[in-house]
Amino acid sequence: MPSGCGGSDALRGYADEMSDAFAEQLPAVHEVMGAIINRLAPRPPSLNAVAGTLGMSARSLQRILKAEAHAYRELVETVR
């Protein structure tokens, strides 16, 4: 859509709302993988570091991943 079009701002706002709503529905695995990717260089971040980034304890993160049938190490290997 051309930038001069009046509906452009409304459409952009709607797209942002939909993106935010979709992101809220993603499983924890996607959030954890995003945190790993953001902190990957020069080596993968520790479980404690990712848990801190997500605002939770390492044990809570482990429980959440277990509930979704994943392990932290598995996610690190997938992201690499």
- Over residues 46-64, mean pLDDT: 92
> Could you tell me which residue, 41 or 75, shows the higher pLDDT?
75
List all residues 6 or more positions away from 76 whose beta carbon is below 8 Å from its beta carbon.
36, 44
> Could you tell me which residue, 12 or 34, shows the higher pLDDT?
34
- State pLDDT tens for residues 19-54: 555 455 456 888 888 888 877 778 888 999 999 988
With a cut of 50, say whether residue 1 has pLDDT above it: no
Cα–Cα distance between 53 and 50 in angstroms, integer? 5
